[in-house]
Amino acid sequence: MKNIIDVKNLSKSFDISSKKPGLKGTIAHFFNRKTKSLRVINDISFEIKEGEIVGFLGANGAGKTTILKILCGLIYPSQGSILVSGFLPFRRKDNFLKNITLIMGQKQQLIWDLPPIESFYLNAAIYDLDRFEAKKRIKKLSDMLEIDEELFIPVRKLSLGQRMKSELLAALIHEPNILFLDEPTLGLDINAQRNLRKFLKKYNKETNATICLTSHYMKDITSLCKRVICVHNGSISYDGKLDLLLNKLSPIKEILLVCRSEEDAIKLQNSGFSIKNKTKNEITIIVENKSITTSLKTILDNFDIEDLYINEPPVDEIIGKILIKKDYDI
């Protein structure tokens, strides 16, 4: 598969002004505004292949959204080279813009007082689609998104979930190859989040579109992205498979085994497994991820086990570590 996004040594600085508290600070800020240059993206390089779904992880202010906005051409880079689908994004050529879309969970493009269908036809005109083609695409996408009547209800009367689905439809009517999604599930309930993820997976499978995603909901990342790019203070701290990262950060699993008798539990305790704790016929062992299958087979073959539970540390907890750490050598 060929690279669709190619970023080399990208940096971006912004001029930021700060203000001291109080009236004195306000007056000083008004007459003599001091600005300093803040480097928000610091010499990053990465490539993304066609059809990949890549999650950008990082704490608030780490630079994820800035990277997405540079990739779609909204912000000029200060240094470095970027090629997206063979184009220099910041030139915003029509053929480039027809290839991409940006969906932001916290901002909307739909016309507030009108039903979403009006915004869809407006977008269709902007992307130079004839009415027949637009109608066909709206039908296809609304079937995929499972929306129908909502298309004819004013946006202001739709729920957040329905609105987000309509936003997606408006953003995808031109069938872009690259989707930039900035926290698309923000504020959605669990079912709406799941439906959105289901749709994105299906869209990616059917169209082979490349998806770059930022989200603070770890379920979005774990269920959609095989690859993640972790951003820390504007630099990339990890770029690779999500599984590998999780394995590196949490290489072990705890297995709670309920033995049929206490004798079995004692026998198991003395069989050489690393034991975390034991109470009567229940015993918790610690096993490395890579040997979990063989360990379980040995246990089930040699001991009388009534029940077992595998405890994985919560993904949120593991990812939380990423947000505060600078480097991961995997």
Partner 1 sequence: MNPRKYLKVYSKFLHTSLASELEYKTNILIDLITAILSLIGSIFLLSIFFQNNGSIGGWKFEEALIIQGIYTILNGITNTWFNPNLSEIVKHIREGTLDFVLLKPIDSQFFISFKKLNPSGFLEIMIGVCLLLFSIRINQINLNLIFLILSLITLICSICILYSLWFFISTTTIWFVKTWNATEVLRSFLYIGRFPLNSFSFSIRIFFSVFIPIAFITTIPSEVFLGISQLWQILLTVIVAIIFLVTSRKFWLFALRFYSSASS
210 counts as binding partner 1 under rule CB under 8 A: no
138 counts as binding partner 1 under rule CB under 8 A: no
Q: Which is nearer to partner 1, 83 or 318 (CB)?
A: 83
92 counts as binding partner 1 under rule CB under 8 A: yes
59 counts as binding partner 1 under rule CB under 8 A: no
Q: How far is the CB of 299 from partner 1 (least distance, A)?
A: 48
CA–CA distance, 204 with 248 (Å, rounded to integer): 28
Binder among 51, 80, 154, 320 for partner 1 (CB under 8 A)? 154
14 counts as binding partner 1 under rule CB under 8 A: yes
Residue type, 77: P
Q: How far is the CB of 100 from partner 1 (least distance, A)?
A: 7
Q: How far is the CB of 118 from partner 1 (least distance, A)?
A: 5
Q: Where in 96-115 is the site for partner 1 (CB under 8 A)?
A: 97-98, 100-102, 104, 106-109, 111-114
Q: Which is nearer to partner 1, 183 or 264 (CB)?
A: 183
135 counts as binding partner 1 under rule CB under 8 A: no
Question: 61 CB contacts (<8 Å, ≥6 apart)?
Answer: none
132 counts as binding partner 1 under rule CB under 8 A: no
Q: How many CA atoms lie within 13 A of 80 on its CB side?
A: 24
87 counts as binding partner 1 under rule CB under 8 A: no
Nearest Cα to Cα of residue 4 among 179, 240, 167: 179
Sequence-separated contacts (24+) of 204-210 with Cβ below 8 Å? 204/51, 204/53, 207/175, 207/177, 208/50, 208/51, 209/51, 209/176, 209/177, 209/178, 209/179, 210/4, 210/5, 210/48, 210/49, 210/50, 210/51, 210/52, 210/53, 210/54, 210/177, 210/178, 210/179
CA–CA distance, 113 with 116 (Å, rounded to integer): 9
Q: Which is nearer to partner 1, 121 or 303 (CB)?
A: 121
Q: How far is the CB of 125 from partner 1 (least distance, A)?
A: 5
Binding to partner 1 by CB under 8 A, coded x per residue (else -) over 165-204, reads -----------------xx---------------------
Q: Which is nearer to partner 1, 185 or 281 (CB)?
A: 185
Contact 176, 100 (CB under 8 A): yes
Total residues in contact with partner 1, by rule CB under 8 A: 37
Binder among 125, 160, 310, 330 for partner 1 (CB under 8 A)? 125
Q: How far is the CB of 102 from partner 1 (least distance, A)?
A: 6
Residues in the site for partner 1, rule: CB under 8 A?
A: 14, 65, 69, 72-76, 92, 94-95, 97-98, 100-102, 104, 106-109, 111-114, 118-119, 121-123, 125-128, 154, 182-183
